[in-house]
Amino acid sequence: MTRRSAYVTLAAALLLVSTSGPFIVMAAMDPWATVLLRTALAAPLFLGFAWWRGQLRVPAGLRLRLAVGGVLLGAHFLLWVKAFDLTDYASNLLLLVAQPAIAAVLGARLGERATRATWVSVALATLGLAVIAGGDLALGWRAILGDAMSITAGLAIALFYVVTRRARVALPLAPFMGWTLVGCALTALPVVLLTRAPLSYPAAQWGWLAGLVVLTTAAGHGLMNLCAPHVRLFTLNVVIVLEPAIAIAMGAGLFAAHVDAIQVVGGVVLAAAVVIGIRQETRQDPPLGTIE
């Protein structure tokens, strides 16, 4: 994969992953059940292809990384999907800004050279976060709890990219995604059992879930992990700052999602963060394959 194709792939992945919020809302399923069904149905798509290619086996040295990665990604899904029940739709999406801020810190710890533009981007992203979360104070403790869950979800997926980086490089995409999603489903299963979340829904809701499985999870997260070894950890996470704008626009068309003035201001700050971050990161990227 060339550098240009890596960024084109990342852009396509962003568009597909941005369908997550609208599909989750339109499916209107229990949040815990949504995560279990989403991951349990997406895993066989990858494992079936891996079996056909004779790629199911995972080297013993990588199994623990995949297991921990599955738990982290499962935690990300559980926290973020549940946050839709607690906080505002737009706020939950906009708080994805936590990812690049966390990734910048983690990347520096891993030896990625943080530039001045990186920290300017992080500062702007943090300001945007503060604006949006501050606006949610008036909504009460439930909204604040939802905001906290959304931010923690960002930490979980940033750690997922770090923990699984060696497995992602060593394994073909199909077994990597398949076994990771199995770990996600196993993480969600006890939560579903303990909360007695319903698993039976009308056909129309399953249609939206199918979109979440095929477009968002299999295609979107699959492409995101495909290009992950070829871009910096910060770059991989900073593009997610654009997801809210795309998902909110989709939500406005599907179910008249509301966006207030404070969220617009926060969104503008977030857009500035991603522009500054991406411009500098594309110039600073080291040779392909040296990051993860």
pLDDT in tens, 93-143: 666 666 666 766 666 666 656 667 667 777 777 777 666 655 545 555 677
Within a domain: residue 155? yes
Nearest Cα neighbor of 162 from 109, 97, 113 is 109
> How far, in Å, CA of 127 to CA of 210, rounded?
36
Nearest Cα neighbor of 143 from 87, 96, 81, 80 is 87
Within a domain: residue 228? yes
> How far, in Å, CA of 248 to CA of 133, rounded?
17
> How far, in Å, CA of 50 to CA of 77, rounded?
24
Residue 227 clears pLDDT 80, i.e. is over it: yes
Q: Kindly give the residue spans of alpha helices, DSSP state H, lying in 212-242.
A: 222-227, 233-238
> Do the beta carbons of residue 150 and residue 95 sit within 8 Å?
yes
Average pLDDT over residues 82-90: 72
> How far, in Å, CA of 189 to CA of 265, rounded?
39
- Residue 285 is predicted with a pLDDT of 46
Within a domain: residue 292? no
> Do the beta carbons of residue 37 and residue 217 sit within 8 Å?
no
- Residue 288 is predicted with a pLDDT of 34
Within a domain: residue 290? no
- Residue 158 is predicted with a pLDDT of 83
Q: Domain of 247?
A: 3-284
Query: What region does 288 belong to: left with phi over 0, alpha with psi -120 to 50, or beta?
Result: beta
pLDDT digits (tens, 9 = 90+) for 166-218: 898 899 999 999 999 999 999 999 999 999 999 999 999 999 999 999 999 99
Burial of 286 (0-12, 13-18, 19+ CB in 10 A): exposed
Q: How many domains in the chain?
A: 1
- Of all residues in the chain, the percent with pLDDT exceeding 70 is 65
- In the chain, the amino acid numbered 214 is V
pLDDT digits (tens, 9 = 90+) for 236-281: 666 666 666 676 666 666 666 656 676 667 767 766 766 676 665 5
Within a domain: residue 289? no
- Locate tokens 């501050």: which residue? 134
> Do the beta carbons of residue 271 and residue 245 sit within 8 Å?
yes
Residue 73 clears pLDDT 70, i.e. is over it: yes
> Do the beta carbons of residue 233 and residue 15 sit within 8 Å?
no
Within a domain: residue 60? yes
- Residue 119 is predicted with a pLDDT of 72
Q: Alpha-carbon Rg of the chain, whole angstroms?
A: 18
Within a domain: residue 276? yes
- Residue 292 is predicted with a pLDDT of 30
Burial of 123 (0-12, 13-18, 19+ CB in 10 A): middle
- Residue 75 is predicted with a pLDDT of 94
pLDDT digits (tens, 9 = 90+) for 7-19: 888 888 888 988 8
SS3 content of the chain, % helix, strand, coil (to 5): 85, 0, 15
If you average pLDDT over every residue of the chain, what do you get? Answer: 79
Within a domain: residue 192? yes
Average pLDDT over residues 49-66: 93
Residue 23 clears pLDDT 50, i.e. is over it: yes
Nearest Cα neighbor of 165 from 118, 220, 215, 107 is 107
CB atoms within 10 A of CB 57: 9
All residues at 6 or more sequence positions from 261 whose CB lies less than 8 Å from its CB, including other chains: none
